[in-house]
Structure 1
Amino acid sequence: MTPRPPLSDHQLSELRRAQQLVREGKGQGAIERIRPLLEAKVIHADVYWLFAEACRLAGLKAEARTSLNAAINLDPAQPGPWAALGSLLEEMEDLGTALVARRRLVEVDPDGVNAWLALGDLLLRLGDAREAEPAYRRALALVPGGFRAGHGLALALRLQDRAQEALAVTGALVTRPGVPALTRTLHGHLLGDLDRLEDAAAQYRAVIATRPEELDAQETLARLLPQIGQGEEALAGYEAALRARPGDRALWRSAVRTARGLRRWPACLAWSEQAVRRFPGDPFLAVAHADALGFSGDPQAALALLERLAGGPAPDAFAAVQAAHWRLATGDPEAAERHARAATALAPDEQTGWAYLATAWRLLNDPRERWLIDPERHVATLMLEPPPGYADRGSFLAELRAVLEGMHGASAHHPDDQSARQGTQTRGHLFTRRDPVIEALSRTLHRQIEEWLATLPRDETHPFLRRNTGWIGFRHSWSIRLRDSGFHVSHIHQEGWLSSAFYVSLPPEVEAAPAEGDVPGALVFGVPDASLGLSLPPRRVERPEVGKLVLFPSYAWHGTIPFASAHPRMTVAFDALPVPAQP
């Protein structure tokens, strides 16, 4: 069967009208033009392809998929329907089948740069940077110096922990006119990865000087500056950007979110007050403004705003969580419980509501606190087993400590938006580093954690136990190096499920401390966030020990006791999420 039989003049006219409607974004009108051709049994590859595009515009994705498959069956060597099918399947989150379409596209169109770019982009989305690399290299060979291909290649290299190679790629791009701000920002990230923090800050500043709306550069610069002793300038980029772009909602949200995260309450209060006037009805800005009021000394004003948002016709989980916070802070655990329960009903996998609910139940002497977070049943300790190739735990930990020391690098201060005080934190996702020692740690922890998860009971009503599939993925991971007087403020991990502390090395003073009393450097469970103003003793104190892994639900309050020593305390930590059970 020929893929494109001749069409009558009337059919050609209808097809051209449908093409124009598709160009205008009028999918339904185009469908009405094309459907009579299909009903008349016109079997033509281009008709099916155009009908698919019209259906896609109209939101009829299943029909679009069927029509693209028909076009491909008629003419499998035509690149266009393969490209359209790949894009459609990505929209439908059918990424496995989309990858098949993207690979077929580069077979039928081997010189199509967009085909290789689309393949690389999808492979990165699927987390396969190693396979994405040759796709971007092929695109670069087709269009030497192409910005998009170069950016993709640099990103693929970075995700393989090959920052120096990636920097060479972006370095060749950023000197040319017209380079996208996204690539200039990536260049800054790579400088930071290589511990060139001052150069990274300068690069971010250069980006936002010409593109103040580049939020990744703004946010990263604001978090970086306190770590290199320039905290007083952390929000300067936002100040200039908001003057230049006063109508940019995304910029206002980013500025308010960053000021809130860095606990810069005067700036958060001033910006959120302006933002809620400019963009009324934005729940995030309203809640952030309420928080800024509370932390600026007016918790009653905060509560008035939060309870209006939490109890309105469209209840907001973030507002309910923060209402619970301020009810706890003002001594009303009964009201805090109501808000926390509402928050957990609206967002059952977000951890903050459960933390506040546990605190409210504790203040109310409610036995459900122990059901929710039992410090004996829900906190586990394991000793790391030596990874394959190591005779004992000590030899492995000695190598691990040396590797981590090199990763802590040049930052002099702790990140202001994290829990550590008097210490440093590694950049990025530690377990994605392509260092054999880090990979051995990740694999061993992964196996031991899943073995422990298999011992837990199933409880469909429990926020931690009901999500246990027996399998995990590491959402984020990092290392902390605390120095003399260092500690962690009490906190939770709001986007996690299972959190942790793994002890790599300890100061001799901590190792030799008596087991009784406030053990220096110890991990303390059950003491709420200090901003709540509650004087509650720990529910459990876990003595640190080199090689020990401590696991606990991410909603469990935890912090550490300061220690005095000239030697650092080195840990690795991670948040894990459950993944579907494996066959």
Structure 2
Amino acid sequence: MTPRPPLSDHQLSELRRAQQLVREGKGQGAIERIRPLLEAKVIHADVYWLFAEACRLAGLKAEARTSLNAAINLDPAQPGPWAALGSLLEEMEDLGTALVARRRLVEVDPDGVNAWLALGDLLLRLGDAREAEPAYRRALALVPGGFRAGHGLALALRLQDRPQEALAVTGTLVTRPGVPALTRTLHGHLLGDLDRLEDAAAQYRAVIATRPEELDAQETLARLLPQIGRGDEALAGYEAALRARPGDRALWRSAVRTARGLRRWPACLAWSEQAVRRFPGDPFLAVAHADALGFSGDPQAALALLEPLAGGPAPDAFAAVQAAHWRLATGDPEAAERHARAATALAPDEQTGWAYLATAWRLLNDPRERWLIDPERHVGTLMLEPPPGYADRESFLAELRAVLEGMHGANAHHPDDQSARQGTQTRGHLFTRRDPVIEALSRTLHRQIEEWLATLPRDETHPFLRRNTGWIGFRHSWSIRLRDSGFHVSHIHQEGWLSSAFYVSLPPEVESAPADGDVPGALVFGVPDASLGLSLPPRRVERAEVGKLVLFPSYAWHGTVPFASAHPRMTVAFDALPVPAQS
């Protein structure tokens, strides 16, 4: 380590003044104090470190990085510059180099609890919960009972599909005074993961009773209550919270978004009307209010609000999408096409605009509909290959059925904000489960999907084909178990690129159904959302078959035919996104 040269009294005085300016958030003023020291060739780690903090405040991140590296070169054993460098690199989204800095920091400062917490937080951000776990455990050893370390450890365990262990951690934290609402909410999530849904609901209620602005607890509770047969209470937490915090814009947006997602149109209409008065100029609230008007029976009022937002000087993609919806619903496919094209230009990777464009082109007898979504070329079907270690598909599916049945056990009702009716849906991201059968399914599907993607043509002008890199990552995954009379309403997947249905088990009445007519349990493509009021026949009907995987663009309208049986229809579904091509 290079020894620190002594600073003169004048230099120390200037440094203290600069430190005070940094504390006050006056980065440029601090720079002006420190720069003469650097120009005078004052070589000292603390000077470079403080100059970096001033540059960071002033938004000069590249200069801050250079100065921190200089400080570290002068005194590599000092923890402060390593900590500052790690934080700066995270702000700059250079996470790989930030991880190097965070690991170096815990070497330099092995007893620094904040160093271990920062390392754990970054590892979680990078998706490495397994490596984050020991970092949080070390932080807990240094400060037993620390809330932040305990929360991080519980989160790392949850992400490793170890909810029982995670619940034991949060269980000790939530009994103590001062526990953060974030940790109390995580405790509720873990109760839900373990299918203790009533306990989870009680935990969320306890959180919002004291912290009504805790949006994660509010939103999760509202979506959970309908699944345990208490849908009439779904929005009660928001009602109390809005009375308690009438000036909280984020709370109003969350309440409106949740009411809209749950299709509680009277509440959505009332809340959005109040919200747009309180917060004029918020495009999300304006569009949500327009939608509520439309779904309350006044589509013309909806269009009167939407079209200026969709076509104004700062056009809004969400407004354009919903304007297309209501133009289709009111029988004006030409105007719907204009709005849908605008939406796809503004947000080319959002799927709803493409779905509405396909519908408008179909109503206009435009051949581009078949270019956009060809039910023969763009819908793929595969039969699952037995994963390694299994003699055949049937033996694997038998194990998979048993695992999935356990995940569906205690749920009583379908989620109100999803497409399934008369059934249940698993919680969370299915393919993150650390169950060997689920992992085998995920790996096999991943490989077979990428093999199928390699057979598709390239078309840089096509919204689906242009994004095909040949490689995917699973964004969401879940299982649906439909009961007697169960079905999926026609819908799309707004946040996906490639969507799916994989048949795990079927009722005998579905397996033996004739191939003609309305095939019970079949997957139907091309019938738009019922709220559009359009009477269009399917473009393709895909019969269900155990072991079959169906793949299609996420903007393709799809739903299922109801079936009558005492036996369930169980599927796995996912949304995938393209990832950069791998060498």
Note whether the superposition's TM-score is higher than 0.5: yes
| Separation in 2, partners of 1:514, 1:298 | 42
**Structure 1 residue 367: deviation in Å?**
0.6
Deviations, residues 357-414 of structure 1 (Å, cap 9, x unaligned): 0000100111111111000010000000000000000000000000000001211000
**Structure 1 residue 35: deviation in Å?**
1.3
**Structure 1 residue 3: deviation in Å?**
4.4
**Structure 1 residue 216: deviation in Å?**
0.4
Contact preservation (8 Å) 1:354, 1:555: yes
Deviations, residues 278-305 of structure 1 (Å, cap 9, x unaligned): 0001000000000000000110000000
| Separation in 1, partners of 2:312, 2:20 | 45
Deviations, residues 538-560 of structure 1 (Å, cap 9, x unaligned): 00000000000000000000000
Contact preservation (8 Å) 1:3, 1:43: no
Partner SS state of residue 111, structure 1 = coil
| Separation in 1, partners of 2:348, 2:576 | 16
**Structure 1 residue 14: deviation in Å?**
1.7
**Structure 1 residue 8: deviation in Å?**
2.3
Deviations, residues 510-541 of structure 1 (Å, cap 9, x unaligned): 00001111110000000000000000000000
| Separation in 1, partners of 2:579, 2:90 | 21
| Separation in 2, partners of 1:163, 1:436 | 16
| Separation in 2, partners of 1:521, 1:338 | 36
Contact preservation (8 Å) 1:523, 1:558: yes
**What's the % identity of the aligned pairs?**
98
**Structure 1 residue 31: deviation in Å?**
1.0
| Separation in 1, partners of 2:464, 2:458 | 10
| Separation in 2, partners of 1:4, 1:55 | 22
Partner SS state of residue 225, structure 1 = helix
**Structure 1 residue 134: deviation in Å?**
0.4
**Structure 1 residue 9: deviation in Å?**
2.4
Range with bigger deviation, 446-455 or 381-390: 446-455
| Separation in 2, partners of 1:385, 1:534 | 39
**Would the alpha carbon gap of residues 359 and 101 (structure 1) be closer, same or farther in structure 2, given more than 3 Å must change?**
same
Count of residues in Structure 1 that have an aligned counterpart in Structure 2 = 583
**Structure 1 residue 2: deviation in Å?**
3.6
Deviations, residues 247-278 of structure 1 (Å, cap 9, x unaligned): 00000000000000000000000000000000
Partner of 2:299: 299
The unaligned stretches of length 5 or more in structure 2 are: none
Partner SS state of residue 203, structure 2 = helix
1:335 aligns with 2:349: no
| Separation in 1, partners of 2:471, 2:77 | 42
The unaligned stretches of length 5 or more in structure 1 are: none
| Separation in 2, partners of 1:242, 1:142 | 41
Give 4+ residue runs of structure 1 displaced > 4 Å after superposition: none
| Separation in 2, partners of 1:202, 1:9 | 62
Contact preservation (8 Å) 1:3, 1:45: no
Partner SS state of residue 570, structure 2 = strand
After superposition, residues 91-110 of structure 1 pair within 5 angstroms as: 91-110=91-110
**Structure 1 residue 456: deviation in Å?**
1.2
**Structure 1 residue 457: deviation in Å?**
1.3
Contact preservation (8 Å) 1:497, 1:575: yes
**Structure 1 residue 4: deviation in Å?**
2.1
Partner SS state of residue 42, structure 1 = coil
**Structure 1 residue 418: deviation in Å?**
0.1
Deviations, residues 86-136 of structure 1 (Å, cap 9, x unaligned): 111111111111111100000000000000000001111111111000000
Deviations, residues 136-173 of structure 1 (Å, cap 9, x unaligned): 00000000000000000000001111000100000000
| Separation in 2, partners of 1:11, 1:333 | 73
Contact preservation (8 Å) 1:265, 1:296: yes
**Structure 1 residue 179: deviation in Å?**
0.4
Deviations, residues 187-245 of structure 1 (Å, cap 9, x unaligned): 00000000000000000001000110000000000000000000000000000000000
| Separation in 1, partners of 2:463, 2:176 | 52
| Separation in 2, partners of 1:3, 1:462 | 62
| Separation in 1, partners of 2:26, 2:526 | 58
TM-score, normalised by the number of residues in structure 2: 0.99
Deviations, residues 7-32 of structure 1 (Å, cap 9, x unaligned): 22222222111111110111111111
Contact preservation (8 Å) 1:85, 1:101: yes
Partner SS state of residue 6, structure 1 = coil
| Separation in 1, partners of 2:2, 2:225 | 65
After superposition, residues 66-105 of structure 1 pair within 5 angstroms as: 66-105=66-105
Partner SS state of residue 476, structure 1 = strand
TM-score, normalised by the number of residues in structure 1: 0.99
